[in-house]
């Protein structure tokens, strides 16, 4: 059965269904329509999008009482600070005296983002896999001594590319779901990092535009900093065991030492060994504690770092894993939508 879906809301670009890499895979199971009257399911990217769709959805559900509203979110940051009960798979929200019932499909409520081999975000565009394939194929030829030489001769000691975010709202924590907001934390790490030749770049750090506004922000990153820095910040905006973006892979691809934040349950350890990167988990007192990382080369195990490069070169030499991961994501979403459509 093909499910007819319509994408609505200004954040609909924050759902797997919008990526060109996924559209062909979805096409066998889902038909995307432009007329809400023809849809079985309304797909939103964030709960907040409901605020601007009240009248549209009320009218549509009067015509079709079985029309379902589903939020499929890939971005934990906005889930956790958006005010909704993101941990509830079936939830509701009152907007101007009208109660909307909807389903939350995210990192907490489903297995959509519980990857097998390749973290979800890397599956959203072919360029991640192709670029990593080429870069790790080169890196794997480098010895421990070559890496040491790269770090000793690097133009920069450390690089932080991130938006400046010191507002309290980014400090959100939810121990029940092993979630910790890291935007404020990583901004403080960048500001306090003991390094006279560090680079801090991003919106708010004396920059008026966002890196995502570049024609290809990822290509700009890997071409600008390849073998040019000893450390590279890969700290995510949110800590959650399944939530792994391109950041730590970029750091390894650049032949840099990643700065990361991961507790013992984090799934990054299924991909690389713990001592192959600098783990900031547990480093809560920024300042004197960070001085311990002043010599980054002494903070990792070089053999583990080389081993990580080998493991990553193998991972990104198998395109079948990328295809299988995308098929898994689509199957999970389709299964969830079928169950939602069958619900009362």
pLDDT surpassing 80 at residue 288: no
pLDDT surpassing 80 at residue 195: no
Residues 6+ apart with CB under 8 A from 45: 9, 11, 12, 13, 14, 15, 71, 72, 73, 75
Question: Which among 83, 110, 137 is the end of a domain?
Answer: 110
Please tell me the predicted confidence (pLDDT) of residue 289: 53
Residue 336 forms part of a structural domain: no
Residue range 191-208: mean pLDDT, rounded: 87
The larger pLDDT score, comparing residue 290 to residue 168, is at: 168
Q: Partners of 92 in the beta sheet?
A: 101
140 and 100 in a common domain = no
Residues 6+ apart with CB under 8 A from 278: 231, 257, 258, 259, 260, 293, 296, 299, 300
Q: Partners of 69 in the beta sheet?
A: 42
Neighbours of 109 (CB within 10 A): 20
143 and 234 in a common domain = yes
277 and 133 in a common domain = yes
C-alpha distances in Å from residue 18, one per residue of 13, 27, 55, 109, 209: 6, 12, 24, 21, 24
- Domain that includes residue 290, residue range: 120-319
Residue 329 forms part of a structural domain: no
178 and 136 in a common domain = yes
| Number of domains observed in the structure of the chain | 2
pLDDT band at 1 (very low <50, low <70, confident <90, very high): confident
Please tell me the predicted confidence (pLDDT) of residue 193: 85
185 and 267 in a common domain = yes
127 and 67 in a common domain = no
pLDDT surpassing 80 at residue 10: yes
188 and 148 in a common domain = yes
pLDDT band at 291 (very low <50, low <70, confident <90, very high): low
Residue 299 forms part of a structural domain: yes
- Please tell me the pTM assigned to this model: 0.94
pLDDT in tens, 79-124: 999 878 999 999 999 998 999 999 999 999 999 999 999 999 999 9
Residue range 263-286: mean pLDDT, rounded: 90
CA 73 – CA 267 distance, rounded (Å): 20
Please tell me the predicted confidence (pLDDT) of residue 283: 81
135 and 105 in a common domain = no
pLDDT band at 292 (very low <50, low <70, confident <90, very high): low
Residue range 187-192: mean pLDDT, rounded: 91
33 and 106 in a common domain = yes
77 and 152 in a common domain = no
Please tell me the predicted confidence (pLDDT) of residue 82: 82
179 and 76 Cβ atoms separated by less than 8 Å: yes
147 and 100 in a common domain = no
At 207, which CATH number?
Answer: 3.40.50
The larger pLDDT score, comparing residue 316 to residue 81, is at: 316
Please tell me the predicted confidence (pLDDT) of residue 63: 96
Residues 6+ apart with CB under 8 A from 222: 131, 135, 250, 253, 254
Please tell me the predicted confidence (pLDDT) of residue 128: 98
């Amino acid at each position: 059965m093909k499910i007819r879906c319509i994408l609505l809301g200004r954040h609909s670009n924050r759902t797997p269904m919008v990526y060109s890499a996924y559209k062909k895979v979805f096409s066998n199971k889902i038909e995307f329509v432009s007329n809400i009257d023809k849809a079985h399911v309304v797909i939103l990217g964030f709960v907040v999008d409901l605020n601007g769709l009240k009248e549209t959805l009320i009218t549509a559900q009067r015509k079709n009482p079985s029309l379902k509203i589903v939020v499929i979110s890939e971005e934990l940051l906005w889930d956790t600070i958006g005010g909704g009960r993101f941990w509830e798979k079936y939830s509701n929200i009152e907007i101007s005296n009208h109660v909307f019932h909807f389903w939350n499909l995210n990192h907490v409520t489903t297995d959509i983002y519980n990857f097998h081999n390749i973290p979800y975000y890397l599956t959203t565009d072919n360029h991640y896999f192709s670029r990593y394939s080429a870069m790790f194929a080169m890196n794997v030829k480098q010895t421990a001594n070559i890496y040491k030489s790269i770090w000793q001769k690097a133009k920069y000691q450390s690089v932080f590319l991130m938006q400046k975010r010191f507002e309290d709202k980014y400090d959100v924590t939810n121990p029940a779901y092993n979630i910790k907001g890291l935007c404020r934390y990583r901004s403080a790490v960048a500001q306090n990092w003991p390094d006279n030749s560090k680079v801090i770049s991003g919106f708010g750090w004396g920059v008026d535009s966002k890196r995502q506004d570049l024609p290809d922000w990822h290509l700009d990153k890997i071409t600008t900093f390849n073998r040019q820095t000893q450390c590279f910040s890969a700290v995510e905006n949110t800590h959650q065991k399944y939530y792994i973006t391109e950041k730590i892979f970029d750091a390894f691809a650049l032949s840099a030492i990643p700065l990361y934040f991961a507790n013992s349950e984090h799934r990054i350890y299924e991909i690389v060994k713990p001592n192959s990167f600098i783990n900031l988990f547990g480093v809560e007192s920024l300042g004197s504690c960070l001085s311990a990382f002043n010599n980054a080369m002494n903070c990792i195990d070089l053999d583990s770092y080389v081993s990580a490069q080998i493991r990553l070169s193998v991972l990104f030499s198998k395109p079948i894993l990328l295809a299988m991961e995308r098929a898994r994501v689509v199957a999970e979403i389709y299964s969830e939508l079928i169950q939602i459509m069958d619900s009362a």
